[in-house]
Amino acid sequence: MFFFAYNILSIFLLLPVVVYHLYRSVSRGRPPAFRERFGSIPAAELAALRKRPTIWLHAVSVGESIAARPLLKALRKRYPGHAIVVSNTTETGRGISSTFPEVDLCIYFPFDFLPSVCSALKSIRPVLIIIMETEIWPNFTREATLRGIPVLLANGRISDRSFDRYMKLGWFFRHPLRLFSNLCMQTEIDRERIIAIGAPDERTLATGNLKYDIPICVADVGEKKRLRDSYTIPEELIVLTAGSTHSGEEQHVITMYKELSAAADNLFLILVPRHPERSSEVAGLLENSGLTFRRRTSLPSTELFHQGEVLLVDTIGEMMSLYALSDISFVGGSLVPTGGHNLLEPASAGVASVFGPHMTNFREITELVLQYGAGIQVDSPEALTASMRTLIASIELRRVLGQNGLKMMRDNGGATERHMEVIAGYL
């Protein structure tokens, strides 16, 4: 009865969903890709699967795609005869996933409209579906189950902010949750929460966070110089990278940078908005501040940057390289109540990080970063400026924070292998 009612409702919701996606795509200057979102995948693209048994992994956006990378590498190594399909919901997620050499085919995830789901499943014919974090789509999960395809939840989490919402809608989520073959949650708290929402206790495990298994990518002197050369950044500058920033944060970062640059003659800022389509808005802030800047898309250039200038990154997929060439990082989404972003990225590069008070989406990671002394949490823009000033003045403090981050990564790895043990039961 639940799925019948859901499908009736989905008919009425289809038009608003289509209109929303069309508006979102047009406003961001990207094609809406309705063909794939309605489950139609061109035969030429399906040829990449070459009739091999196929593993379908779904990762909503950029963060989930990056978190999936260790798992994708392990799947490719252990099951070389299988094809791997990755689906994404967002354009930026697909942009990242399409760069992964482990992936045979990237597609957009179909709308959870019964004909779309059936068409996609019929075309791909996966032997296993892996859904990253907490994407719960009733039709997709049910239709896969009816076809005898195991569906696993990987790296699952239920944040503080979303738990109450899920509980209020437990009557809705418990139906698709019961169809998952296994649910691999990041922590015991996540496991308890999703069971409370309606997941089957006996099929729900705490397997750790895949993000701790992202490759350690510390750049030595030669590699750091090569990276800086590719962005035309002089090697003698102290580079501060503000990554994944949101509206309301960039102005604070710019104000901080201008104040610090007035006292230091060797400082350089890389500013990376979380959503590249906001780059024009951020460029306006930089222009109004009087700072000289260049966009990433205008590089390479024969002219080197100078102290006090700014690189505005209006592309995707370069965050790890940017952290690797940096001396200090600010992790955005944390000075405004967005919930923060992944502190493990600068930690895996051995780079000291500073972040704000709003880290509810990464509570466990934040606690570990503070426990290991791998970063500094501040409660205001003024405190951010003060902490950055201290880090600029102390190369030893930067080194200690970076080394502590690397130790944290090494001590808390292993989630990939625990996930692979579960996956092995279905392949």
Q: What is the pLDDT of residues 169-205, one digit of tens each?
A: 889 999 999 999 999 999 999 999 999 999 999 999 9
| Terminal-to-terminal C-alpha distance of the chain | 32
Domains 26-209+414-424 and 221-411 share a fold: yes
The enclosing H or E element of 87 equals strand 83-88
How confident is the model over 138-165, as a mean pLDDT? 94
pLDDT band at residue 21 using 50, 70 and 90 as cut-offs: confident
CB 203 within 8 A of CB 150: no
Which of 313, 343, 315, 309 is closest to 329 using CA atoms?
A: 343
Instruction: In whole angstroms, give the CA distance from residue 420 to residue 401.
Output: 32
The reported pLDDT for the residue numbered 227 is 96
Q: Cis omega before residue 300 (within 30°)?
A: yes
For residue 92, give the DSSP letter: H
The reported pLDDT for the residue numbered 214 is 85
How confident is the model over 28-41, as a mean pLDDT? 86
Q: Which residues pair with 329 in a beta bridge?
A: 241, 353
Q: Is the pLDDT of residue 159 over 90?
A: no
Q: Is the pLDDT of residue 361 over 90?
A: no
Q: Write phi, then psi, for 158 (nearest 5 degrees).
A: -125, 105
For residue 426, give the DSSP letter: T
The reported pLDDT for the residue numbered 355 is 98
Give the β-pairing of 151-156 and 267-273.
unpaired
Q: Does domain 221-411 have CATH number 3.40.50.150?
A: no
The reported pLDDT for the residue numbered 24 is 79
How confident is the model over 357-365, as a mean pLDDT? 90
Active-site hit among 36, 64, 143, 249: 64
**245 or 14, which is more confident:** 245
Which class for 195: exposed (0-12), middle (13-18), buried (19 or more C-beta within 10 A)? middle
- In the residue annotation, 421 being an active-site residue is answered as no
Q: Is the pLDDT of residue 338 over 80?
A: yes
Residue 247 contacts by C-beta under 8 Å, 6 or more apart in sequence?
Answer: 278, 281, 336
| Beta strands in 175-306, from DSSP E residues, in sequence order | 182-185, 204-206, 238-245, 267-273, 293-295
Kindly compute the dihedral angle of the four CA atoms of residues 350, 352, 357, 360, in this order, to the nearest 10 degrees.
0
pLDDT tens for each residue of 42-74: 999 999 898 899 999 999 988 899 889 999 999
Which of 333, 308, 246 is closest to 281 using CA atoms?
A: 246
The reported pLDDT for the residue numbered 302 is 77
The reported pLDDT for the residue numbered 353 is 97
pLDDT tens for each residue of 212-260: 998 888 999 999 999 999 999 999 999 999 999 999 999 999 999 999 9
The reported pLDDT for the residue numbered 18 is 84
Upper half-sphere CA count for residue 401 (Cβ side, 13 Å): 27
pLDDT band at residue 126 using 50, 70 and 90 as cut-offs: very high
Helix, strand or coil, per DSSP, at residue 63:
helix
Q: Cis omega before residue 115 (within 30°)?
A: no
Instruction: In whole angstroms, give the CA distance from residue 116 to residue 95.
Output: 22
Average pLDDT, the chain: 94
**308 or 217, which is more confident:** 308
The reported pLDDT for the residue numbered 330 is 98
Q: Is the pLDDT of residue 383 over 90?
A: yes
Q: Is the pLDDT of residue 22 over 90?
A: no
The reported pLDDT for the residue numbered 32 is 82
The reported pLDDT for the residue numbered 256 is 98
Domain boundaries, the chain: 26-209+414-424, 221-411
The reported pLDDT for the residue numbered 50 is 86
Percent of the chain scoring above 90 in pLDDT: 82
CA angle at 376 for the pair 64 and 273, rounded to the nearest 5°: 45
Q: Is the pLDDT of residue 354 over 80?
A: yes
The reported pLDDT for the residue numbered 15 is 87
How confident is the model over 1-8, as a mean pLDDT? 89
Domain 26-209+414-424 fold: Rossmann fold (3.40.50)
Q: Write phi, then psi, for 380 (nearest 5 degrees).
A: -165, 160
The reported pLDDT for the residue numbered 210 is 93
The residue type of 338 is T
pLDDT tens for each residue of 80-107: 999 999 999 988 889 889 999 999 999 9
Token digits of residue 63:
């963060």
Alpha helices in 125-237 (DSSP H): 138-146, 160-168, 170-177, 188-197, 221-230
How confident is the model over 143-166, as a mean pLDDT? 94
The reported pLDDT for the residue numbered 344 is 94
CB 239 within 8 A of CB 326: yes
The reported pLDDT for the residue numbered 27 is 76
Instruction: In whole angstroms, give the CA distance from residue 152 to residue 141.
Output: 10
Instruction: In whole angstroms, give the CA distance from residue 348 to residue 248.
Output: 27
